[in-house]
Amino acid sequence: MNIQMITVGKLKEKYLVEGIAEYTKRLGPYAKVSIVEVPDEKTPETLSAAEEAQVKQREGERILAKVNEGAFVIALAIDGKPLSSEDLARQLQDLATYGRSSVAFIIGGSLGLAPEVLARADLKLSFGRMTLPHQLMRLVLVEQVYRAFRIMRGEPYHK
């Protein structure tokens, strides 16, 4: 399976970089994983609704340009569908079974995702109603994808 994680902004925190590298390495036997960072828009503290929409649109264009053709797109969104770890494992297993071996997970920037990106998504996935920093979400996502592959293979993993 080819897993693409498209994210907005550059990751700077060493502890997050190291954690993501560790889980990406662990995923090696199960899937080909690529993490694609697209530049974020510089945003002042206060933005009008129109300026916010422009920022999301520009970031959204960059995101969509990186999605592999034919990929099943899973956009992370607070208002998306909440899945358990087992549900995510089943979703990925079903995709692989039915020939959808290219999956793109998308994590937006600090303002969220553009409507065009959400419209392109085959699934909007929520990790809960809490707002998390998008940089931290990368680590959470890669860990959950690793966990999903362990579940799919019937391998032990801490519950």
Tens of pLDDT, residues 84-93:
999 999 999 9
CB 137 within 8 Å of CB 38: no
Residues 99-108 have a mean pLDDT of 94
**CA–CA distances in Å: residue 95 to residues 49, 99, 137, 145:** 37, 6, 23, 14
Tell me the pTM: 0.94
CB 122 within 8 Å of CB 95: no
Name which of 38, 59, 73 is nearest 112 in CA terms. 59
The confidence score (pLDDT) of residue 36 equals 97
CB 146 within 8 Å of CB 26: yes
